Amino acid sequence: MSIPLLEVQDLHKFFFTTRGVVKAVQGVSFTLSAQETLGLVGESGSGKSTVAYTVMGMYSPTGGKILFRGQDISVSHERRPLSLKKELQIVFQDPGSSLNPRRSIGDILALPLSIHGKNNPGTMKERIEELLQMVELPPEYVSKYPRSLGGGEKQMVAIARALAVEPSLVVLDEPTSALDVSVQAKIINMLVEIQKKRGLGYLFITHDLSLMRNIAHRVAIMYLGRIMELAPSRVFFEKPLHPYTRMLISSIPVVSEQEEKLKPQKIIPRGEIPSPVNLPSGCVFHPRCIEREELCSQKEPEMIEAEPGHWVKCHLIRT
């Protein structure tokens, strides 16, 4: 394979607090190609957003490397060149707080264009209308303010803003979690279409596994700062190996019998995700794991490739 769009190698991110070191991310590695959607799933506190923010440069990594098209970008935001920032954009979960309530939609969309030197006064208005059209909003929205838009429409504006500077990688941090499914469906379809047209890479952060089944090409599941399993979407859902993945998939509430049949045997979830300050010994999942063995509390398992493209971090899985 040629150089991937994004490559994360052994990423570590610790936060030093008065109550101890929060080991938010410990040894995360993955790649993402153009045209590809990588789903990064996990419960709250698993470190998925920290990975995303570190990729964006909102945090600088404690260890490990982030490569964009082979070039090392493991520095924080303020030390990244403008030309690099243009390539990486992010859409946040809550469009209510990511859009400035005192700026019109037109102003919101104009800002990235002028920052990145695309503020040719002659074409600015046209460009903004194009952006609105891309997210299927009528041109008169230019003069509206975020408060008069519905949640879905606000998120459309946030997406248009991220795409204004024509990035090649977009981090989507739970972009539809706050929205109803009927609105989510529209946004997801639009994102998929835009990806096809522009060949974007999406790093899609979410806790919604069913959604990932439908749009991600590959899925990685995180638990306490580590990737526990990474596989092509179909394999991930049809042949999950890690007990944590199976527990999570078996807990998803579904709406039909066909789906029920696809779920692994029900594992009644127990316990909660522990604090990332005091991590369990050995495999971090062992206190909640029903299949744990003695070794699990003593030694952290290595990530192994169980079959081509299917990576898993569990002592029970042997090649």
Q: Classify the phi-psi angles of 317: left when phi > 0, otherwise alpha if psi is within -120 to 50, otherwise beta.
A: beta
247 scored as a contact of another protein (CB under 8 A): yes
CB of 104 to another protein, least distance (A): 21
Contact range with another protein by CB under 8 A, out of 32-40, 56-64, 233-241, 308-316: 233-241
Cα–Cα distance for residue pair 137/163, rounded to 1 Å: 15
Cα–Cα distance for residue pair 225/243, rounded to 1 Å: 17
What is the 3-state secondary structure of 115-135?
HCCCCCHHHHHHHHHHHHHHC
Among 211, 230, 235, 283, binds another protein (CB under 8 A): 211
252 scored as a contact of another protein (CB under 8 A): yes
Please choose, from the candidates 156, 233, 163, 232, the residue with its C-alpha nearest in 3D space to the C-alpha of residue 198: 163
> How many Cα atoms are found within 13 Å in the side-chain-facing hemisphere of 273?
17
248 scored as a contact of another protein (CB under 8 A): yes
121 scored as a contact of another protein (CB under 8 A): no
Mask 23-62, x = binds another protein (CB under 8 A)? --------------------xx------------------
Compute the C-alpha angle 213/217/219, nearest 5°.
65
For 319, the token pair is: 């090649």
279 scored as a contact of another protein (CB under 8 A): no
**Is 71 or 258 the residue whose CB approaches another protein more closely?**
258
278 scored as a contact of another protein (CB under 8 A): no
Among 123, 143, 148, 214, binds another protein (CB under 8 A): 214
For 195, the token pair is: 């990806």
Question: Which residues form the interface with another protein (CB under 8 A)?
Answer: 43-44, 150-152, 180-186, 188-189, 192, 207-211, 213-215, 233-234, 237, 247-249, 251-259, 262-263, 268-270, 272-273
